[in-house]
Chains A and B, each alone.
Chain A
Amino acid sequence: MISSGWSLCVDDLTKVYRRGTVANDSVCLRVEPGEVYGLLGPNGAGKSTLVKQVIGLLRPTSGRITLGGRDLVADPAAARRLCSYLPQAQMPIESLRSLEAIELTGRIRGGGRNPVRRRARELLDALDLGEWERTTGARLSGGVRRLVGFAMVTVWPGRVVILDEPTNDVDPLRRRLLWDEVRRLAGDGAAIVLVTHNVLEAEKAVDRLAIIDRGRLLAEGTPSALKDGKDRLRLQVMLRPGREDPAPEPFVLGSVRTGHTLVATVGSQDAGAAIAWAQRLVDVGHAEEYALTATTLEDAYIRLTGAAALDDPGARS
């Protein structure tokens, strides 16, 4: 049974940097043990700022962070021991061999010599890094270096494992291995906080996620709940170059045009009408092709963060 005493609670967290940037604005969230929780948002949304406060590298301007009955803001030493943290930036492993780096951090995290060695081997195999176990960090490719960092952080994990963009530079095959490993960690009872701005990844890898923009938490839920609901569909029409947007139809609930692509949201009861309309556009030579699919998380993401951008155009300057 998973004890909920170990959920990570972030309550009304606000971080204002010294020059006045509001990087987090009254954020509340809760991550349960065994759960992979995504923080999704565009560049500068405040994701890294949020997790740095959890691990105790930054002090919140106001708000509370608790884990297992401990106040992590007041006790950053406990935060460092209870949480493992993969920063967005590089790891200091220039002169360390991969296996050695993983073992050293496992030992520093409190693991015994032999269990750490076993587990480090396991991780190297699971991530398919065996080839580089004796290579020093300075000679590793960017993606392998990133994976070694991931292994360093998870070799002897804390109750909470914070991963700030773990898949940067990692190839698609090893990304899958990494997600398997993340899932295994959650299965063992860790609460995983996963920072990303890759919507597709978030959709596949997380149990729940928060969409953050300009420091504010815009929406939270499971990926399927955050999609625009089951009663909506996504109609994508490739217009011929130089054509205007077609006249709006009553069943189109919303549309966005980027380049020659028009993405419209339609109610599922209007699927027939939508196809007929799109086919007519192709027949008259206005469009080249079209596709009607289920809505994706990306649609919700663009709608939410795009709306935030319209609300508040000067905020990012």
Chain B
Amino acid sequence: MTAPDGTGTTVDPTAGGSGPGTAGAAELRTGPRYWVSCYPRMVAWQFATLRLYLPVLAVVQVLAGVGFVLGIGLFFPGEVPHRSAVYVSTGVPVINLYLLGLVLLPQVIGQQRLAKTYDFTQSLPVPRSVGFAAWYTMTLLVGAPAVVATLAAAALRYDPGFAVSLAVVPAAALVCLTATAVGQAMAHAVAEPMVVQVLTQILNFLAIGFAPVCMPPEQLPDWLVTVNRWLPFDAMAVVMRSALVEQPVAGVARACLVLAAWTAACLALAGWAVGRRG
């Protein structure tokens, strides 16, 4: 029952082979080592599947981020006040990551649903958490150049007094994680691609125009500030700002908790939606 050439077609149940096709059911590998062995393969698959799209997306993100940072300056008739400059400079990278996490996955899954290739992707034999981790990795890598370019442009244009520390890396990673989790939840829990598109548009507007991300909270009505204390946009901006400016930023711990809660809730929702299985 062993294939003569010893290739993957071996399915002898007694052979403790190296893959799902060759391992006995009682011995399907699990645990951290299995997870770690799946992860790079899934990353390779996702990068290869989207290789025509990702470079374009990364460039568009850079252009959009830099353009947005410079463009906002035009809203101010003269010199941009320092406080506004800080909010713009630290808020636009958040919007960058936020849009990417929110839009990328729902779009790709929506497109796969339309092209009917979604079933195969879903049938790949990796834990769902590996799929999410690979996806998150990709979002982070596509978004990184945009964050760097946007921060550089902001520093040159507004001189907001950045005190860039290494803390910006975990801050950006956390912002991106929450955004990816929200995107994951929408992509899986809302099956209809059109509805997903409308939802992402609405969320984009809310994040840009109605949250203290690119503008100080005193420019918003009080009730909106209160609402935003429970939404992820404000928390993302707080986390990012705290990693970029010298003065201490209030409420960082709370912001991290809000993001953690949103991430957990969205992943739970996505897990439930995937597990529902039609």
- Select which of A33, A52, A68 is within 8 A of B119 by beta carbon: A52
Does B12 count as interface, using CB distance less than 8 angstroms? yes
Q: Which residues of A contact B50 (CB under 8 A)?
A: 95
Q: Is A188 an interface residue (CB 8 A)?
A: yes
Pair B9/A157 contact, Cβ less than 8 Å: yes
The B interface is mostly helix, strand or loop, or mixed, namely loop
B82 on interface, CB distance cutoff 8 Å: no
Interface size range on B against A: 35 or more
| A89→B116 contact, CB < 8 A | yes
Q: Are A80 and B11 in contact (CB under 8 A)?
A: no
Q: Which of B12, B21, B277 is A156 in contact with, Cβ under 8 Å?
A: B21
A111 vs B22: C-alpha distance when bound (angstroms): 9
Residues of B within 8 A of A157 (CB): 8-9, 11, 21
* Residue of A6, A68, A89, A107 touching B41 (CB-CB under 8 A): A107
Of the candidates A6, A59, A70, A93, the one whose C-beta lies within 8 Å of that of B278 is A59
B120:A87 contact, CB within 8 angstroms: yes
Is B209 an interface residue when CB atoms closer than 8 A count as contact? Answer: no
Residues of A within 8 A of B127 (CB): 77
Residues 1-35 of B contacting A (Cβ, < 8 Å): 1, 3, 5-14, 18-26, 28
Q: Which A residues touch B275, using CB under 8 A? A: 76
- Asked, given contacts A82-B20, A92-B112, A116-B8, whether A108 binds B42 with beta carbons under 8 Å apart, the answer is yes
Which residue among B8, B24, B42 has the maximum number of chain A CB atoms within 10 Å of its CB? B8
A96 to chain B: which residues have CB within 8 Å? 48-49
Q: When chains A and B are docked, how far (Å) is the Cα of A299 from the Cα of B60?
A: 60
- Within 82-121 of A, Cβ neighbours of B (below 8 Å) are at 82, 84-85, 87, 89-96, 100, 104-112, 115-116, 118-119
Closest to B111 in A: A92
CB-CB under 8 A from B38, the residues of chain A are 108
Q: Contacts A92-B117, A95-B51, A95-B52 given: A109-B125 contact, CB under 8 Å?
A: yes
Interface: A300 (CB within 8 A): no
Beyond A87-B119, A95-B50, whether A188 also contacts B10 by CB under 8 A is yes
Which residues of the other chain, B, contact A158 by a CB distance below 8 angstroms?
20-21, 125
Q: B104 within 8 Å of A by Cβ?
A: no
Inter-subunit contact A104/B48 (CB<8 Å): yes
Contact of A119 among B1, B9, B25 (CB under 8 A): B9
Q: Contacts A81-B20, A96-B48, A159-B21 known; A1 to B1 CB distance under 8 Å?
A: yes
Is B117 within 8 A of A119, CB to CB?
no
Q: A85-B123, A89-B117, A110-B125 are in contact. Are A184 and B1 (CB under 8 A)?
A: no
**Which A169-219 residues sit within 8 Å CB-CB of chain B?**
184-185, 188-190
Flag if A95 contacts B48 (CB, 8 Å).
Answer: yes
Which one of B3, B23, B28, B124 contacts A108 once the chains associate, using CB atoms below 8 Å? B124
A91 touches B117 (CB 8 A): yes
- Contact across chains for A3 and B13 when beta carbons are under 8 A apart: yes
Q: Which residues of A contact B123 (CB under 8 A)?
A: 55-57, 80, 85, 87
Other than the known A33-B11, A67-B25, A188-B9, what 15 A-B pairs have Cβ atoms closer than 8 Å?
A5-B13, A52-B119, A68-B13, A69-B26, A85-B120, A85-B123, A89-B117, A89-B119, A89-B120, A90-B116, A105-B124, A115-B6, A116-B8, A122-B5, A188-B10
Interchain residue pairs with CB less than 8 A apart (22): A33-B11, A57-B277, A59-B278, A70-B25, A82-B28, A89-B119, A91-B120, A92-B49, A92-B115, A92-B117, A93-B49, A94-B52, A95-B48, A105-B45, A107-B44, A109-B20, A119-B9, A157-B8, A158-B21, A159-B11, A184-B9, A189-B12
List 7 A-B pairs, minimum CB-CB distance, nearest first: A110-B19, A68-B25, A89-B116, A92-B117, A81-B20, A59-B277, A156-B8
